[in-house]
Amino acid sequence: MTYHHNSYDFNMIQTQKPMTTPQLEGTACKPRRTEAVKRLLLNLFLLTTGSCIFAVGVNAILVPQKFISGGVIGVALVLHYLIPGLSIGLTYFLLNIPLILLGWFSVSRKFVLYTCFGMAVFSLATALIVPPPIPIDNPILAAILAGIICGAGGGIILRSRGSVGGIDILAVFL
């Protein structure tokens, strides 16, 4: 009998005994699980780091300069400026709830779960990380520095498999 790479000997398959659970534990299950845990931890680390950097840019430059960013964070900043004392992080989180629901039913659930984590970290970071304002008198220079800091945070966030919400959810949806 000639064997080709696509042919199977069904008699041989039927005579093989199924592997038991202890035998399976030493096979490819552990490396796959280990790799999945590493990917999960890396994504959570990227989301946390990027969110904290982005929050520093918001609190150190955007808010003291009364700048407005784009997207949902921009809406949260406008509401913060109109209603003094309103938490940027809480407002951002609440404004993202409809987008999260949209993502839950139309985008990858894994992406949405990572995004919920990123939103929570960003919301907490904007409330807890309050650096001293960076004293910049030139608004153009302040805008450039805000773009660099917030862009670095956003870039790190985009390296993960999630986001911090906002327009990113719509971008993935579309």
DSSP per-residue string spanning 53-108: HHHHHIIIIIHHHT---SHHHHHHHHHHHHSTT--HHHHHHHHHHHHHHHHHHHS-
Looking at residue 133, what is its pLDDT? 84
Name the 3-class secondary structure at 27.
coil
Tell me, yes or no, if the pTM score tops 0.95: no
Looking at residue 8, what is its pLDDT? 45
Rg (CA), the chain: 24
Looking at residue 162, what is its pLDDT? 86
Instruction: Say which residues have a Cβ less than 8 Å from residue 49's Cβ, sequence separation at least 6.
Output: 153, 156
Torsion angle (degrees, nearest 10) of CA 29, 33, 39, 40: 150
What are the residue boundaries of the structural domains of the chain, listed by start? 53-173
Looking at residue 25, what is its pLDDT? 56
What string of DSSP letters covers 100-157? HHHHHHHS-HHHHHHHHHHHHHHHHHHHH--PPPP----HHHHHHHHHHHHHHHHHHH
**pLDDT tens sequence for the chain (174 residues):** 454 544 444 444 455 555 555 555 555 556 788 898 999 999 999 999 999 999 999 999 999 999 999 999 999 999 999 998 999 999 999 999 999 999 999 888 899 999 999 999 999 999 999 898 888 999 999 999 999 999 999 999 999 988 988 888 888 888
Looking at residue 26, what is its pLDDT? 55
